[in-house]
Amino acid sequence: MKKRSTIGRESFAALETVTVSTLDAPKRVFDLTTGLPSLTTLFADLRSVIDPYEGTTIFYVHLSSNPIIEERYGWEALEAYLELVHNYLGRLSQDVRREREHCHIARAFADDYVALMPRREDDEALSSRIVDEMNRHIAAVDTDLAALNEVYVGRAHVKPFPKIHPERLLYRGIQQAQTEATDVGRQKLSAQVRVLDGCLAAPQKRFSIVYQPLVRLDDLSIFAYEALARCSHEKLRNPHVLFNVAEQSDRVWPLSRRLRKLAMTPEVELPSGALLFVNLHPSDFADPKLLAPEAHVLALADRLVLEVTERAAIGDFDTFRANIDKLRALGLRIAIDDLGSGYAALSAAAELDPEFIKFDMTLIRDIDQSPIRQNLVRNMVAFAVEAGAEVVAEGVETEAELNTIRDLGCHHVQGYLLARPALPFVTELTLPSPSAGQEAPAGS
């Protein structure tokens, strides 16, 4: 994920049509992340936007996933996400001004946004457009953030009323639009939580585990499998959505426990000698049931590799590291998953002394066509080797990518080119023809 760039007054000027004189601008309060003015500083300017005949529509854009993004990936990721939102709203503002003469956007309560514009008959369509276009905009830049992204839009219509002060009229309209937006979000989450509870009550019916091979690059032999969870209910089919709902409803441990039990059940016969990679949520490392595993898990301990994503925001690192040491004492190994680009991320990951480091598919995709990323991966592999870790390149889909990562020194590979997740276990690999079409990944 790119680091957040500083958004200054130039971005604000491009986004807004509110008149702010050069002398007055320094007195106003600007949001440090987006450069937008805070809502309360705009009331004096906004009184004039209420159309005396048609009135004004207030759109309240509620971003309910902000706390989850920050807790899972850290404040830098949240600010990068908010910058993506800001960039989209800037383009939207320019488009709307061509259609409706003016559009005012400001940072609202928490990390939400307010847009005010003349009322039109297509206001409802614009609400849907904001949600759809923002989702596409974020997905085009960062698929992980897009999977967590939840956008809800509420609307309110205000018209001048002589007995009510314009500022108070606008404020009431904003509150009404906010209530509508947040109610929609709560209703959706409540419905998802009910679905999750039903799935947790019957895990063997609703959840399944498939296993994707991890392959040695030197001889293309399978040395491990990654357990990947699947939910059969359409509302929770996306794994990111599944855990997002679990996080927001305090159900991560119950969900993770059931998935681990399915992945490591004695009935699943792991091929002889193979390791088993199991994804964990960062909070799982404080779960007493993980730290004191059952007998059948202990029997597999020397073949288990626990994955934690590099992008996870770890609140108490000392306790986190101490719990990892307890698991290592039982014979388990650690892998850092989804490692992004840059030495800072690699250095932080190395603090956990992982046995494996998995390079994210965003680094690997079309790497054969990117000399810059080739040089980056070559040096990251050297760093990992010096730290005592073996490197797994994830998401390999073409033979050109496979040959390139082999030349760059990666030890292992995982991807649709070699095998898809399946059950029973894939034991033989068949390399496709270079001209064969590649199906898009379904996600982990």
Q: Is the pLDDT of residue 241 over 60?
A: yes
Say which range, 76-85, 193-202, 287-296, has the weakest mean pLDDT: 76-85
Residue 224's pLDDT band (boundaries 50, 70, 90)? Answer: very high
Q: What is the rounded CA–CA span in Å between residue 405 and residue 413?
A: 8
Mean pLDDT of the 342-366 span: 82
Domains annotated for the chain, with CATH where assigned, are 39-192 (3.30.70.270), 205-413 (3.20.20.450)
Is the pLDDT at 318 greater than 60, yes or no? yes
Greatest mean pLDDT among 56-65, 167-176, 333-342:
56-65
Highest mean pLDDT among 144-153, 183-192, 401-410, 422-431: 401-410
Residue bearing the bigger pLDDT, 296 or 229: 229
Sign of the torsion angle spanned by Cα atoms 426, 431, 435, 440: positive
- Average the pLDDT over 113-133 and give the result: 90
C-beta neighbour count of 264 within 10 angstroms: 21
Please report, as a single letter, which amino acid is at residue 141: V
Is the pLDDT reported for residue 58 higher than 80? Answer: yes
Beta-strand ranges (E) seen in 108-150 are 113-118
The DSSP bridge pattern shows strands 113-118 and 412-414 to be unpaired
Contacts of 371 (CB under 8 A, 6+ apart): none
Is 64 in contact with 150 (CB distance < 8 Å)?
A: yes
Task: Count Cβ atoms within 10 A of the Cβ of residue 60 and give its class: 0-12 exposed, 13-18 middle, 19 or more buried.
Answer: buried
Tracing tokens 């990251």 back to the chain, one arrives at: 380
* Mean pLDDT, residues 8-16 taken together: 33
pLDDT band at 403 (very low <50, low <70, confident <90, very high): very high
Count the Cβ atoms, other than its own, within 10 Å of residue 152: 22
Q: Please, which residues have CB within 8 angstroms of residue 416's CB and are 6 or more apart in sequence?
A: 395, 396, 397, 438, 439, 441
Q: What is the pLDDT of residues 174-205, one digit of tens each?
A: 999 999 999 988 888 899 999 999 999 999 99
Tokens, residue 185: 């979000």
Answer yes or no: are the C-beta atoms of 92 and 133 closer than 8 Å. yes
Quick one: pLDDT at residue 268? Answer: 82
| Whole-angstrom Cα Rg for the chain | 25
Checking DSSP bridges between strand 356-359 and strand 390-394, what pairing results, if any?
Answer: parallel
Q: Cβ contacts of residue 443 below 8 Å, gap of 6+?
A: 147, 238, 239, 240
pLDDT tens-digit map of 324-351: 999 999 999 999 988 875 555 666 777 8
Lowest mean pLDDT: which of 123-137, 183-197, 331-345, 369-383? 331-345
β-sheet bridge partners, residue 335? 307, 356
Asked whether the predicted pLDDT for residue 172 surpasses 70, the reply is yes
Whether 38 shows a pLDDT value over 60: the answer reads no
Q: Work out the pLDDT band at 443, boundaries 50, 70, 90.
A: very low
Taking residues 287-304, report their average pLDDT: 93
pLDDT at 311: 63
Tell me what the mean pLDDT of segment 409-419 comes to.
96
Q: What is the pLDDT of residue 10?
A: 35
Which residues touch 97 (CB under 8 Å, ≥6 apart)? 17, 103
Bond prior to 288 in cis (omega within 30° of 0): no
Judge whether residue 7 has pLDDT over 50: no
Q: What is the DSSP string of 250-293?
A: T-HHHHHHHHHHHHT-TTS-PPTT-EEEEE--GGGGG-HHHHS-
Which one has a higher pLDDT value, 386 or 143?
386
Tens-place pLDDT, residues 144-165 = 788 888 899 999 998 877 777 7
Q: Is the peptide bond before 424 cis (omega within 30 degrees of 0)?
A: yes
Beta carbons of 413 and 402 less than 8 angstroms apart = yes
Kindly write down the DSSP assignment for every residue of 52-92, as one continuous string: TTT-EEEEEEEETTHHHHHHHH-HHHHHHHHHHHHHHHHHH
Q: Which 8-state DSSP code applies to residue 428? A: S
Q: Do the beta carbons of residue 214 and residue 412 sit within 8 Å?
A: yes
